[in-house]
């Protein structure tokens, strides 16, 4: 990983880097961060002569070689200084709340518009809404392209950014053309490396974030972080890790709640963690407790299914969506807990 002396290199300087690394079978991938651009060496970066030649360039500050299966996502990477913003919230500074329908009903758009306004009033910073849905049963409702228009209209009416899941290249194209702010990669596609590559390439250099969910079948931490590496490797570091419960499930819960992996992720990677308690426990009555547990474990945000009338929803909403009233109370309690986690100014001053 090449760190320049200035915030960004000129095209001529990038050409010099490229000429050197190409001799050793590598390539350069710019990673555009919020403070400065860094230049990842894609390939085997252990060539001593290559490193020496790069460090000899007068516009290079240093070259870091991180021996890790996910060197860009690694906590020692210079991307540790990168900050991701969604809905005016800088993750890591303020608790991010994303809320909305599991599945948008194209026949009843007003249900989503009402929910969008209600979750905004409850304190949410972003809207979630399922346009396309991966379903176990091939005869179940799979979503509808028309719902994308409803999702974006909800964004226009509330001023909130939106998150929706994409499952293939066509979904990706449509979502980006519509102006979706956060692309969600669901648990069933968490290790779909072809899709991860496509997403990474499509959003390189764009102000779009990716909410990457953990794989359903007890994906290891290395698998989870390495999946994020596929996306960042194409140039966009706006990746958010999302634990959402794994399989096999726990009796009484939809999945095996896994918010407890949050501190383990934070030990290994700089990426923010936004937990989905709705899919973790799968029942609205259990969502508040799971959400608060996630915040206590160090989550930077929550992605919660909410609906003004859950019984009239589609997909998972009837069983696991909370009402706006419950959401409002949950947000208040979660923010208070998040504030308790942060060291006081006097404590911070004493440690400096």
Question: Percent of the chain beyond pLDDT 90?
Answer: 63
Token couple for 186: 């669901």
Residues with Cβ within 8 Å of residue 72, at least 6 apart in sequence? 1, 31, 40, 79, 229, 232, 233, 237
Distance CA 190, CA 221 (A): 12
Q: How confident is the model at residue 102 (pLDDT cuts 50, 70, 90)?
A: very high
Host H or E run for residue 261? none
Question: Percent of the chain beyond pLDDT 70?
Answer: 93
Residue 346 has pLDDT above 50, yes or no: no
pLDDT at 343: 65
Residue 179 falls in which region: left (phi positive, over 0), alpha (psi -120 to 50) or beta: left
Q: How do residues 260-313 score in pLDDT, each as one tens digit?
A: 999 999 999 999 999 999 999 999 999 999 999 999 999 999 999 999 999 999
**Beta-bridge partners for 211:** 184, 240
Distance CA 143, CA 135 (A): 10
Cis status of the peptide bond prior to 248, with omega within 30 of 0: yes
Distance CA 116, CA 151 (A): 9
Measured CA to CA in angstroms, residue 170 lies from 129, 175, 178, 190 at distances of 18, 9, 12, 18
Dihedral of the alpha carbons of 43, 46, 51, 52, in degrees to the nearest 10: -150
Q: How do residues 216-236 score in pLDDT, each as one tens digit?
A: 876 789 899 999 999 998 888
pLDDT at 140: 60
Instruction: Compare 294 and 25 and report the one with higher pLDDT.
Output: 294
pLDDT at 330: 98
Residue 351 has pLDDT above 50, yes or no: no
Query: pTM for this one?
Result: 0.86
Q: If you average pLDDT over every residue of the chain, what do you get?
A: 89
Q: What are phi and psi of 329, to 5 degrees?
A: -65, -40
| One-character DSSP codes across 288-301 | HHHHHHHHHTT-SE
| One-character DSSP codes across 6-62 | SSS--HHHHHHHHHHHHTTT-EEEEEE-SS-EEEEEES----HHHHHHHHTSTTEEE
Q: Is 333 in contact with 308 (CB distance < 8 Å)? A: no
Residue 114 has pLDDT above 70, yes or no: yes
**Beta-bridge partners for 99:** 127, 304
Instruction: Compare 258 and 71 and report the one with higher pLDDT.
Output: 258
Q: What are phi and psi of 40, to 5 degrees?
A: -80, 140
Q: Can you list the pairs that 244-252 forms with residues at least 24 positions away whose Cβ atoms lie under 8 Å?
A: 244/187, 244/213, 244/214, 244/275, 244/276, 244/279, 244/280, 245/276, 245/279, 245/280, 245/281, 245/282, 246/214, 246/215, 246/216, 246/217, 246/218, 246/219, 247/216, 247/217, 247/218, 248/218
Distance CA 143, CA 165 (A): 11
Q: How do residues 131-167 score in pLDDT, each as one tens digit?
A: 987 755 555 655 678 999 999 999 999 999 999 999 9
**Pairing state between β 2-4 and 60-63:** antiparallel
Q: Angle, to 10 degrees, between the axis of helix 324-341 and the axis of helix 287-296?
A: 20
Q: How do residues 314-328 score in pLDDT, each as one tens digit?
A: 888 999 999 999 999
Measured CA to CA in angstroms, residue 96 lies from 43, 157, 276 at distances of 35, 20, 12
């Amino acid at each position: 990983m090449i760190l320049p002396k200035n915030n960004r290199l000129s095209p001529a300087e990038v050409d010099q880097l490229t000429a050197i690394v190409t001799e050793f079978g590598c390539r350069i991938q710019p990673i555009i961060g919020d403070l400065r651009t860094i230049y990842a060496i894609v390939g085997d970066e252990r060539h001593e002569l290559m490193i020496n030649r790069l460090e000899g360039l007068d516009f290079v500050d240093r070259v870091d070689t991180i021996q890790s299966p996910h060197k860009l996502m690694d906590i020692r990477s210079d991307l540790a200084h990168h900050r991701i913003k969604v809905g005016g919230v800088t993750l890591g500074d303020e608790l991010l709340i994303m809320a909305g329908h599991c599945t948008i009903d194209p026949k009843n758009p007003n249900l989503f518009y009402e929910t969008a306004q209600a979750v905004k009033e409850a304190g949410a910073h972003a809207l979630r809404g399922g346009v396309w849905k991966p379903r176990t049963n091939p005869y179940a409702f799979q979503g509808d392209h028309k719902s994308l228009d409803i999702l974006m209209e909800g964004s226009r009416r509330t001023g909130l950014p939106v998150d929706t899941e994409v499952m293939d290249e066509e979904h990706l194209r449509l979502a980006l053309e519509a102006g979706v702010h956060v692309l969600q990669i669901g648990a069933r596609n968490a290790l779909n490396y072809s899709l991860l590559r496509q997403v990474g390439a499509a959003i390189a250099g764009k102000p779009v974030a990716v909410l990457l969910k953990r794989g359903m079948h007890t994906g290891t931490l290395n698998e989870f972080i390495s999946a994020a590496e596929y996306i960042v490797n194409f140039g966009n570091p706006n990746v958010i890790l999302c634990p959402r419960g794994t399989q096999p499930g726990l009796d009484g819960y939809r999945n095996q709640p896994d918010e407890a992996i949050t501190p383990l992720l934070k030990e290994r990677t700089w990426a923010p963690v936004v937990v989905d308690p709705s899919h973790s426990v799968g029942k609205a009555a259990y969502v508040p407790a799971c959400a608060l547990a996630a915040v206590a474990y160090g989550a930077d945000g929550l992605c919660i299914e909410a609906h003004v009338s859950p019984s009239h929803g589609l997909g998972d909403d009837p069983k696991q969506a909370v009402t706006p009233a419950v959401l409002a109370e949950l947000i208040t309690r979660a923010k208070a807990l998040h504030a308790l986690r942060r060291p006081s100014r006097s404590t911070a001053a004493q440690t400096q």
